[in-house]
Amino acid sequence: MLYNNLINNTKSINNKYYNNIIWGYIDIYKGNINLYSPQLCIKIENHYKNNKDFINIDLLNTTIFFKNELLQITNNRKHSVFRIITSNLQINKTLILKNDRYYLYKKQNHIGLLIDHSIITDYDKHNICDIFLKQQSIIEKNRLYLPEQGSINIKKLNNFKNLFSNNNESIFNNFINILLHISKNYYRNELAYIYILSTNENYNLLVNIYNTLINRNLVHDNYNIIQLEFLNDLEYISMY
């Protein structure tokens, strides 16, 4: 599979909302867009504007959380929540289906790091950290991929020592491992950056592997395979 599919869903607005502010959520099992009543939207908005952490809606056995990410818990089930201001007669939302659950789609980039520990032993870790610090500030949902560690929200990366862990596998096995993990989370038009610190020979072999997988329609062609060279400073010497 080249990428996971996105789902476009719509909902007609049949009520008049105060200041055109509408709160709603996604049915986690059906993917339907559900809107709160105009009266309830006013109450939710007041809590939100007053910097409350959450609001309890006892009648619906629901709690809506406002901090970090809008989230609703109803009967111990989590639902994606949204807030929009619109005078349109219809709402359009893009959803993802993951593990038979529907969620609001939020664009993300995918960033992988491969260090050939069997060959490269002397390199500037500070400059590598700088790359990922910059990526942390670009898109909130950027995901980090390290060998045998799956997918990590880059915003939650606090210990940068994890970037340099050595699992004693070959860089080729680790490259395939990262590609597989990216493919599980990749959606159309997202970008992937895989930074590689190795010899020119191994880098070229990895690019050839990637090209072969593209030709067999096993991965998307929207990945950037970036070779890193460390002399006095970090610089890209090649981007495929």
Mean pLDDT of 52-67: 92
**171-185 vs 200-215: helix axis angle to the nearest 10?**
40
Quick: pLDDT tens for 102-128: 999 988 889 999 999 888 777 777 778
Give pTM, 2 decimals. Answer: 0.76
If DSSP codes are grouped into helix, strand and coil, which group holds residue 202?
helix
Which contiguous run of DSSP H or E holds residue 200? helix 200-215
Residue 36 binned pLDDT confidence (cut-offs 50, 70, 90): very high
Q: Give CA–CA dist 139/158, Å, rounded.
A: 16
The answer to whether residue 207 scores a pLDDT higher than 70 is: yes
Q: Give CA–CA dist 129/145, Å, rounded.
A: 14
Q: Give CA–CA dist 116/177, Å, rounded.
A: 14
Residue 205 binned pLDDT confidence (cut-offs 50, 70, 90): very high
The answer to whether residue 34 scores a pLDDT higher than 90 is: yes
Neighbours of 54 (CB within 10 A): 14
Residue 3 binned pLDDT confidence (cut-offs 50, 70, 90): low
